[in-house]
Amino acid sequence: MKIGRAFIASALMLSLAACGSSAGMRMGADGKPMPTVYQINSFNEGKITYRMLDSLNELRAAAGVSQLQLNAQLNAAAATHARDMAVQNRPWHFGSDGSSPIERAQRAGYSGLVIGETISETFETELETLSAWMEKPDTRAIILDRRATNMGFAWYQEENGKIWWTMLIGG
């Protein structure tokens, strides 16, 4: 009987501990948990691009299109634009100097076809951002374009946690 009581007491304590750990979760007016800020740290920094590439290639494989490879020039152009969008404080495809995605890719040394650029201003992870891009027909078309062979991907995170994501797809 003592073992049964000890088990019940342990289970009760674990249940209470679980309830206590969610007390720090902020709830919105709709009763749903508020989103948390995705803080990119030095441990994750090197993995983000490869998580994006792997996820993108899984989506492309499911759609029956070829895999993409990272391209250093497109990565450089994406990094330039992610930082520039933060400076401009607006997500759009034009640089503060009026440059287009094609011009930025060419400046970075990319000589291939620039198929498209996807951008985002968010507090979400790269995979949540990819999911949002896949829900929109125009960005989905860029991601799954059959001519694509190269990808460049970069971000800039502000101190408040806001992330400016840029992905360039080339062929």
List the beta strands (DSSP E) in the chain: 69-70, 114-122, 150-157, 163-170
User: Could you read off the pLDDT tens digit of each residue along the chain, which spans 171 residues?
Assistant: 444 444 344 433 334 334 433 345 566 677 766 566 677 777 677 799 999 999 999 999 999 999 999 999 999 999 999 999 999 998 989 899 999 999 999 999 999 999 999 999 988 889 999 999 999 999 999 999 999 999 999 999 999 999 999 999 999
Confidence (pTM): 0.77
Contacts with 126 (C-beta within 8 Å, 6 or more apart), sequence order: 48, 51, 52, 153, 155, 165
Q: In what order do the strands lie in the sheet with 69-70?
A: 69-70, 150-157, 163-170, 114-122
- Token reading at 82: 């992610």
Residue the block writes with tokens 């948990």: 33
